[in-house]
């Protein structure tokens, strides 16, 4: 079978397209996470953008207002909080050196041999030391590499601004490129939107809010190093089946050991147990679709795997990728996957 000129041209065009895709991926790879960060922020702040757009009547102005405010908040947060966080974490790190881990292990495992207790103590001390050193190096690295971080923040703001401003054009462009038929495309878009809302609003945003609200109680009762504890609470608040309780419960023990008044401890626990830990129950109903049912096991597996691959942004990207994959897997199981691509 001879190769016609038409076939040769198709092969040539296809080859050029593959080469260009590889080159585009190489160019975008160093900034891919910043692009995803801008898109995720645009999704989070889309309702606020639409609210502002009702009053300013200009897409560029509405997107510009939100973009400038977010950039100012992020830059000020880095500039003001990183030195404080570094200092407070170093203080906690020094405090951990004074803790007698061997005695704590002996309380938990009263019948363990001295050799086992010593081995566990050495292992835990080394782990704490490595973890503390790693965190401190990361915090100092943020200060040293502030110029590079500023460029990435600028890119995040750029993507965020144009995603909001040109949202309609972006939707139309994606619809044209989509291989799905129009009816199925609408269903898939709704499913993906529900999954995205479930992860970003239902897990991440509410978790951050819970950590922030718990942090308010740390400041009120005068807990030392409250800022770093608030940040850690916000991180754990986003993780299913763990939550902010892993921080505020030890803080309550600290208050008891520190001879805080019984009323202070009771109010502290009541606020966190009855308000902070339960606020997600009624917020989720207002923020995400009730039709979305994301298993917490899928979310936590996605978060852990995402952190290893994407870093901190993996807390969001990991569960999203798993959620999208399971949606397509269910379509395959129900024998509706091929119908998605039929005209």
The per-residue pLDDT for range 321-334, each reduced to its tens digit, is 887 787 777 766 76
User: Higher-confidence residue: 219 or 310?
Assistant: 219
Distance between CA atoms of residues 236 and 27, nearest Å: 34
Rounded average pLDDT over 123-133: 73
pLDDT at 95: 67
Distance between CA atoms of residues 21 and 179, nearest Å: 18
Under the banding of pLDDT at 50, 70 and 90, the label for residue 214 is very high
User: Higher-confidence residue: 98 or 197?
Assistant: 197
User: Higher-confidence residue: 283 or 21?
Assistant: 21
Sign of CA dihedral 233, 298, 307, 126: positive
Coil vs helix vs strand at 58: coil
Domain hosting 86: range is: 35-177
Question: Is the pLDDT reported for residue 42 higher than 80?
Answer: yes
* pTM tops 0.75, yes or no: no
Distance between CA atoms of residues 320 and 303, nearest Å: 9
Cite the DSSP H helix spans in 29-145: 32-56, 59-98, 101-108, 114-144
Distance between CA atoms of residues 48 and 50, nearest Å: 5
Q: Cα angle vertex 205, ends 199, 206, to 5°?
A: 100
User: Higher-confidence residue: 123 or 271?
Assistant: 271
Under the banding of pLDDT at 50, 70 and 90, the label for residue 303 is confident
Residue 4 lies in a domain: no
Q: 204: which residues sit within 8 A by CB, 6+ positions away?
A: 238, 315, 316
Under the banding of pLDDT at 50, 70 and 90, the label for residue 213 is very high
* Listed residue (215, 235, 202, 173) closest to 319, CA to CA: 202
Under the banding of pLDDT at 50, 70 and 90, the label for residue 215 is very high
Residue 73 lies in a domain: yes
Distance between CA atoms of residues 57 and 331, nearest Å: 41
Average pLDDT of the chain is: 78
Residue 97 lies in a domain: yes
Distance between CA atoms of residues 213 and 321, nearest Å: 29
Number of folded domains that form the chain? 1
Residue 7 lies in a domain: no
User: Higher-confidence residue: 306 or 8?
Assistant: 306
pLDDT at 217: 92
For residue 31, give the DSSP letter. G
pLDDT at 235: 85
Residue 191 lies in a domain: no
Residue 201 lies in a domain: no
Rounded average pLDDT over 266-282: 86
């Amino acid at each position: 079978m001879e190769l016609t000129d038409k076939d040769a041209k198709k092969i040539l065009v296809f080859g050029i397209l593959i080469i260009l895709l590889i080159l585009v991926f190489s160019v975008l790879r160093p900034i891919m996470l910043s692009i995803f960060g801008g898109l995720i922020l645009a999704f989070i702040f889309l309702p606020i953008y639409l609210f502002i757009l009702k009053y300013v009547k200009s897409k560029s102005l509405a997107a510009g207002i939100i973009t400038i405010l977010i950039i100012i908040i992020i830059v000020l947060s880095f500039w003001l909080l990183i030195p404080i966080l570094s200092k407070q974490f170093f203080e906690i790190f020094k405090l951990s050196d004074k803790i007698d881990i061997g005695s704590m292990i002996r309380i938990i495992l009263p019948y363990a041999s001295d050799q086992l207790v010593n081995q566990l103590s050495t292992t835990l001390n080394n782990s704490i030391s490595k973890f503390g050193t790693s965190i401190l190096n990361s915090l100092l690295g943020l200060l040293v590499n502030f110029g590079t971080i500023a460029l990435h923040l600028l890119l995040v703001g750029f993507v965020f601004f144009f995603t909001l401003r040109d949202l309609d054009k972006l939707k139309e462009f994606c619809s044209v490129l989509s291989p799905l038929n129009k009816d199925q495309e609408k269903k898939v878009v709704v499913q993906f939107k529900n999954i995205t809302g479930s992860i970003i609003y239902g897990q991440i945003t509410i978790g951050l809010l819970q950590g922030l609200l718990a942090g308010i109680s740390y400041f009120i009762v005068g807990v030392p190093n409250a800022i770093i504890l608030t940040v850690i609470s916000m991180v754990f608040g986003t993780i299913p089946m763990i939550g902010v309780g892993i921080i505020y419960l030890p803080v309550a023990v600290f208050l008891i050991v520190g001879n805080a008044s019984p009323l202070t401890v009771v109010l502290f626990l009541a606020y966190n147990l009855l308000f902070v830990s339960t606020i997600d129950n009624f917020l989720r109903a207002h923020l995400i679709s009730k039709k979305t049912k994301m298993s917490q096991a899928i979310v936590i597996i996605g978060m852990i795997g995402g952190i290893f691959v994407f870093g901190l942004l993996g807390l969001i990207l990991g569960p999203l990728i798993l959620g999208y994959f399971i949606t397509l897997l269910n379509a395959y199981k129900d024998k509706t996957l091929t119908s998605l691509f039929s005209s």
